[in-house]
Structure 1
C-alpha cells in the first residue's frame, strides 16, 4: 500500500511465511505481523451523497490544523502530528475532496529531536505556501527548538533541514509573500507588556530575509487579544495573511481549541495594518449551537483559504465529532466548506448555520477515491508486501532500525522501551478514523520470559491506552489485556482481563478491537478458529481528548515489548 519516505526503513531479513519468529541464541526477540485490517462503520457516514456532492470530514480521524496551498490545478495540504513520527503529512488533491498522502515533511531522524516529549508537544500547526516553484512549510517544534521553516521543490519531498527562527517567539508561524517582493512571517506570541489575563495573546508580523528568514524589521502587533479586546478573548492563533484584490486580510483562530473555538477575520489597506475587524465575527464557529443536536460537528476553527480554478473560495479547517457530550476519540479532523463573499468579507457560517456533513462539491473534475480512502466508511487491509505506507506512525523518533516490512510481514523487535515511559517504543499505529468500527491483526510471537509481549494497541497517549497481547509469565504464555488510565497509574498499566496462552506461542494469533463510541471490545482467536471475547464494553472514554487531554486522537496498531 505505497512506499514510505522513512530512511530508517531498511530492514534485516524477514521471517519466512508461517515460521514462528523465535530469536536466535544471540539475536533479538521479534514479533511477526502478517496482516492489519481496519474497518469503519460510522453512522455519520451512512448518508446519501450525490454525484455533485461531497462528504465531510474530508480527512477523517486525527488530522488537525490543516494548512493548504494551490499551484495551478493541484492542491496541497499539511496537518500537525505533535510527537508522532514521521511528522506533518503532506496530501495532494485535484478536486479538494479526495486526498492522497504523498509524503511527510519530517521524515528523517536527524531533522528534529522529540526525546522525552509528551505526545502532545513537538510539531504543532503547520502552514504551507508555494512561491516561484518552491514550497515552504512553517511550523513550531514546541520544547524542541521553536519556530522553523523547511523548503522543497516537490511537496512529496525531500524537505530541507529546518531553518530555525530564534527571533520569532510563540507558535503557529506562517509566511506571506507580498507582490512587491517582500516576505513576512506572522505568528502568535504574548502581547506587548504583561498579559492582562490567562490566554491573552497577540498576532505579530515582521519582514524577513527570503533566504535565511532572519528578521529585517522589528516585529509589530497586528492584533492584540482578539477582535473584541474588551471581552478578554483568549488564544488568538493560527494567523494567515492573504492579499485579495488589493486588500490584505488577516484571518486567525480565536477562543481556544475546545467548544469556544472560532475563526475571525480582519482587513487592511496595508500588510502591517491597522486591521479592521469584521463586525459579524466570528465567520465560523459552533460554540452557540445546541450541544445535544444530532451528530454534532463541534470545536470548528483554524481555517485556511484557497481559490479553485473556477474562482470560487474554499476553506479547510478542523472540527470534532463527539459521540456523547464532549467525548470524541477520533481527534480533530479536517473539514471543507465554501467561502462566500459579502461586502468584501469572507463568510463561512452565520446565525445557526452548521458545518454540513454533505455539501455541493467544487466544480472540479472528480479525482476519484484514492487507494487509501480518507473519509466515509471503508475497509482497508495491510498485508505488508511493501515497506510501510505513509499512514503509519510511531511515537517519537527512532534511533535504531527495530522493524522491517515487506514480503508479507511486518517484523517488530521487542525492546525494553515501552509505551508509558515517554520513550521511543517498538510500535506502529494508524489513526482511528470512525466512531464505530474495528481493527485486527495477525501476530506470531514466542515470549521468552516474563514481560515479553506483542500484540494490538489502542492508545491516546503514553498515559492512556489499552494493550491486548500475548505475554510471557512465570507460569507460561498468557493472553492479557492491560490498561493505563492516567499519569498516576503504573507505567506498565493494570491487567483488565487475561486467558491461558498455552498453545498460542509461535502460532499465528488474531487479535481484534471493536469500538462503538465509548465501548471497546477485545477478542482473540487462533488463526482460522472462533473468536473469543476477552473483555467487553471496556471504557473507551479514556481514549478521548476530554479525559486524556492533549491535542491528538486515538490510534490503533501493533507493538512488541521485551521484559527487563
Structure 2
C-alpha cells in the first residue's frame, strides 16, 4: 500500500513538474495599443501609443519578455508634447523604438502638432530629448531600421503614388535614408509597397511597417485591413533594402478575422505587430488585439499581446490557419524565469493611498498640463485637486487624473473629501471613453444639501440619471463593470448603498463610441465652466480585476 501511494505521489509530482511555466496574454492589459519592442543586450524595452494622454509613450522594461515593469514615459515634459485642443483619438500615434550603437531612438507621429518626429536617449528610462521634426515625410507610423553596415532608414505609412488614391483606404509604404547624427531624413521617397499584398484586390490601410534583416533577406512587415475586426499582419521580403519586396504567398501571418465569432476567450482585431529576436535566437511577436465581451464590444481598447514566432522556408509565422491567439504560452526562458508576476497582465489589482511624492506611472492626464493644479504634498496621504472650469466634454485640460480599465469585469473605488459650494461644483469618479461618451458619479450640492449624482454624457451636455442625499464630508464612490453593465455605489458611514441605475457599458465601447482609445477611470473634479477656489481631496483609490479566469 505504501508503495502504491509513493508511486501515485511520484506520478502527480512528475506531471506537475512536466507542466511548463506559462505567461498570460495580454502582457499589457487595457489601453496599450500599437506595441513596438527592441532588445539591448539582455534587456527588452517596449513602447505604446497614448494619443491625447500625457505623459506620452510609456516605456516598459523586461529581462525575460514576461515580467514587465514601467520605467517611465518618453514624453514626460510639457515642452516635449503639445496636445492642446486635440480630440481624444488625436495626438500621438504608433511609436517605434530602436537600439543602435549604444543609443535608443524613438520615432512617432503627433498628428495634432509636428507630425513625424524622432527623439533619442542613452537609456529608455530617460531623459529623452526634445522632439526633432521630420517634415519631409508626411504620413504616420514611422519606424527606424539600421543595416549591418550602419546605414539608417525610416519606413512609414504614406499617401499612394502621386497622392492619387484608387479606392478608400489605398495607402503605401515609403522609405527614406535616416541620418542618425543629424536626426533627419535624406534622399528621395522610395515606395516599397503600393496598396498592400495584392493591389488588384484593393487592400486597405497598409500601415505600421517595420524592417528586419535575417539570413541575407530584408523583411518588411506591416499591418493590413484596418485596425478593427479585419485587422491582419502581412510580410514581404527582398534581397535589397530598397526592394522590390515580394509578398509571402501565405499572407497574412497573423489575423483572427476568419474565426468563429462565438468561440470562447476570443481575441479579435490582431495586427500592428513588431518582432524581436532573443539572444539565443528565438523570435517573438508583440501585437495589438482586443477582447470583446459582447458582439465586438470592448471597453479595454486595443491591448498588447505576445506570441512565439516560427521561421519556415524563410518566412516568419505567428499564427497559421485556424490557430487562435492563446491566453497562455510557455515562457521564453524557462531556465531563468523563476515566476511570472506581471502587474500589467490580468488579474490587475492595486490600491493607492497617495503616500508618495510623485504619481505612479500608471496615471495619465487628458492633454498636456500647463498649470500645477494638483498636489501630493499639500496634505501627505491625499491627492489634492483644484476644481477647474474645464470639463472632460471639452478639448482643454480638466482636473482629471486617470488610469486604464484593464478588464471587462472590474471594480474601481475612491475615498474623497469634498464639500461643494454650488451645484456647478462636482467631484468624483468618471468612466471616460471620449468627450461624448462617459459616465460621471460625483458628489455635489442641490438646494443647499449634499447629494450624490450620476450623469451620462450626450453630444452637447450631461444628462442626470439619478440623484440622492448623502451626508457631507468624506465619502466613498464605487463603480463595478460587469461586461455590458455598470453598477454604482456610494458610502458615507458603514454601509454601501446601491444606486438604482444599471448603466449600459457598451456606451463606452470602441464599437459604439468610435476612436482608437480604451476606457479610462478618472479621478475628476469640475466647476462646470465657472471659476472657483474649491478643492477635492482623494484619500485612496483602488482597482480590482473581477474576471473569473
TM-score, scaled to structure 2: 0.90
Q: Does 1:402 align with 2:373?
A: yes
CA distance in 2, matches of 1:367, 1:509: 42
How large is the RMSD of aligned CA atoms in angstroms?
1.4
CA distance in 2, matches of 1:225, 1:359: 34
The aligned counterpart of 2:149 is 180
CA distance in 2, matches of 1:222, 1:481: 53
Give the C-alpha shift of residue 51 in structure 1.
5.0
CA distance in 2, matches of 1:213, 1:160: 11
After the TM superposition, which of the residue ranges 535-544 and 133-142 deviates more from structure 2? Answer: 535-544
Are the structure 2 counterparts of residues 550 and 52 from structure 1 closer, same or farther at C-alpha, using a change threshold of 3 Å?
same
1:482-533 per-position Cα deviation (integer Å, ceiling 9, x unaligned): 1114xx241xx110111013x22xx220100001111000110014x11101
CA distance in 1, matches of 2:410, 2:137: 43
Give the C-alpha shift of residue 537 in structure 1.
2.2
The aligned counterpart of 1:142 is 111
Question: SS of the residue aligned with 1:181?
Answer: coil
Equivalent pair of 1:306/1:314 in contact (CA under 8 Å) = yes
Equivalent pair of 1:521/1:537 in contact (CA under 8 Å) = yes
The aligned counterpart of 1:531 is 496
Are the structure 2 counterparts of residues 127 and 292 from structure 1 closer, same or farther at C-alpha, using a change threshold of 3 Å?
same
Give the C-alpha shift of residue 368 in structure 1.
4.4
Q: Which of 494, 500, 514 in structure 1 is aligned with 2:480?
A: 514
1:454-500 per-position Cα deviation (integer Å, ceiling 9, x unaligned): 11111101111111111133443221011114xx241xx11011101
CA distance in 1, matches of 2:145, 2:199: 25
CA distance in 1, matches of 2:226, 2:385: 39
Q: Which of 257, 265, 274 in structure 1 is aligned with 2:235?
A: 265
Equivalent pair of 2:56/2:81 in contact (CA under 8 Å) = no
Using CA pairs under 8 Å that are at least 6 residues apart, name the structure with larger relative contact order, 1 or 2.
Answer: 1
Give the C-alpha shift of residue 50 in structure 1.
5.4
Q: Does 1:72 align with 2:41?
A: yes
Please give the residue correspondences for 1:424-435 in structure 2 after superposition, counting only pairs within 5 Å: 424-435=397-408
TM-score, scaled to structure 1: 0.88
Please give the residue correspondences for 1:220-369 in structure 2 after superposition, counting only pairs within 5 Å: 220-363=190-333, 365-366=336-337, 368=339
Are the structure 2 counterparts of residues 216 and 537 from structure 1 closer, same or farther at C-alpha, using a change threshold of 3 Å?
same
The aligned counterpart of 2:132 is 163
Q: Does 1:462 align with 2:462?
A: no
State the 4+ residue runs in structure 1 displaced beyond 6 angstroms: none
Question: SS of the residue aligned with 1:547?
Answer: helix
Q: Does 1:62 align with 2:31?
A: yes
CA distance in 2, matches of 1:376, 1:156: 24
The aligned counterpart of 1:125 is 94
Give the C-alpha shift of residue 135 in structure 1.
0.5
CA distance in 1, matches of 2:313, 2:272: 23
CA distance in 2, matches of 1:342, 1:519: 45
Question: SS of the residue aligned with 2:85?
Answer: coil
Q: Does 1:548 align with 2:513?
A: yes
1:238-280 per-position Cα deviation (integer Å, ceiling 9, x unaligned): 0000011221000000000011100000111111000111000
CA distance in 1, matches of 2:71, 2:49: 15
1:396-455 per-position Cα deviation (integer Å, ceiling 9, x unaligned): 011000011252111111010111011100011100001101000000001111211111
Q: Which of 393, 397, 403 in structure 1 is aligned with 2:364?
A: 393
Question: SS of the residue aligned with 2:271?
Answer: strand
Give the C-alpha shift of residue 367 in structure 1.
6.4
CA distance in 2, matches of 1:52, 1:479: 47
Give the C-alpha shift of residue 164 in structure 1.
0.4
Aligned residues: 507
1:192-248 per-position Cα deviation (integer Å, ceiling 9, x unaligned): 121100100000001122122333210110000001111000000000000112210
Equivalent pair of 1:310/1:363 in contact (CA under 8 Å) = no
Equivalent pair of 2:31/2:303 in contact (CA under 8 Å) = yes
Q: Does 1:112 align with 2:81?
A: yes
The aligned counterpart of 2:451 is 478
Question: SS of the residue aligned with 2:186?
Answer: coil
The aligned counterpart of 1:452 is 425
The aligned counterpart of 2:56 is 87
Equivalent pair of 1:295/1:323 in contact (CA under 8 Å) = no
Q: Which of 385, 393, 402 in structure 2 is aligned with 1:420?
A: 393
